[in-house]
Amino acid sequence: MRVADTPPTGREAGPARAARLPGLDALRGLALLLVMLNHAHPGVFGAGGMLGVTLFFTLSGFLITGLLLRDLERAGGVHYGGFFLARLLRLLPPLLLVLAGYAVVEGVVEHGEGRALVGDTLLTGLTYTMNLPFVPHGSGSMYHLWTLATEEQFYLVWPLVLALAWRRRAVGRVIVTGIALALLACAATLVYQGAESARVYALPTSWASALLIGCGLRAAQDRVTALLPTAPRARLLLGGALVALLLAGAVLPAQGDHPWTYLITLPVVAAGSGVLVLLAWTAGPALGTHPAIRLFARLGTISYAAYLWNLPIQSWIGDPRTLLGGVIGAALTIAAATASWWLVERPAARLRRRLTARAAAPSPAA
């Protein structure tokens, strides 16, 4: 289905910017660090996974909504084919690589949970259904793919919903209503599970509010940005304080078995993450001058592949849950993610740019 003449190009919406903003890459790196700390030692960094995933989802909702709004403002519609093709070329090659590695390690070598679970794991990983109940999820080393499933299920419907809301000048109302409905649906799952609240952790209804908060912050970017400090020093202090809160919160115990985690804590963390995203977005390339930002930005550049590889690697080395085990797991993760970046992500990005440029070129008839 196509309702536009200009497809997404892979660049963030907004004024003329570099293809990648160092502040946003640094936030990806921060989110990855929080997740990796949790994978390495959940007994110490119990809440790190939830905080990192919330930051990832909020940033994703912000950026994808920017791409879609740009198309709507330029062409009056969304190029659905171009949008999904760009996402396919961005997400699938690294996923196929890590699934191939998993199939070799646990299917051929039979290390880890063994060959019996390979079929279920590959099926749920490739169909983005790892987060659905009553579906065999396969190996625990790949269970983190529930986050990819949640995100892709959301983006199957969000472009169409946003386009309809934009035409009716009701984007804000739709997003607010969506957040309320997401929280109500989450509350319904919590009531259904009763005392076993942790069982709703990976459900899409538990995380839709974080994605929608990111979407809403992009849609209301100008109004929210006007509420933030204007002085550079004050903005830096605010951003530093929010980062410090995320890092400090990572050492809290895991909160997945508490209902208020999903109904209160997660939306609050998403809102704070959204402020960080706005600060990084409006700062532009200038943030790249800070050494700490550059360091986290390098990690953020390979964050997608690193996220895919970290949990299985941590599991395959014996899940030692020690400082040394975490360091070894992190080193192997970065090595695997760097290889993924050069072997599949950069070639796929070049192909994606060629295809989107070709789709955006005016035809002779036009």
Q: What is the pLDDT along the chain (366 residues), one digit of tens a residue?
A: 333 322 233 333 333 334 589 999 999 999 999 999 999 999 899 999 999 999 999 999 999 999 999 999 999 999 898 899 999 999 999 999 999 999 999 999 999 898 999 999 999 999 999 999 999 999 999 999 999 999 999 999 999 999 999 999 999 999 999 999 999 999 999 999 988 889 999 999 999 999 999 999 999 999 999 999 999 999 999 999 999 999 999 999 998 889 999 999 999 999 999 999 999 999 989 888 888 899 999 999 999 999 999 999 999 998 777 778 889 999 999 999 999 999 999 999 999 888 877 765 544 433
Q: What is the pLDDT of residue 360?
A: 57
Residue positions counted in the chain: 366
> What is the value of pTM for the model shown?
0.91
Report the C-alpha gap between 83 and 89 in whole angstroms: 10
- Closest Cα partner for 143 from 154, 132, 155? 132
CA dihedral 19, 217, 341, 343 (to 10 degrees): -90
Q: What is the pLDDT of residue 19?
A: 58
Q: What is the pLDDT of residue 7?
A: 28
Q: What is the pLDDT of residue 292?
A: 87
Check if the beta carbon of residue 108 is closer than 8 Å to that of residue 101: no
Q: What is the pLDDT of residue 2?
A: 33
Q: What is the pLDDT of residue 1?
A: 32
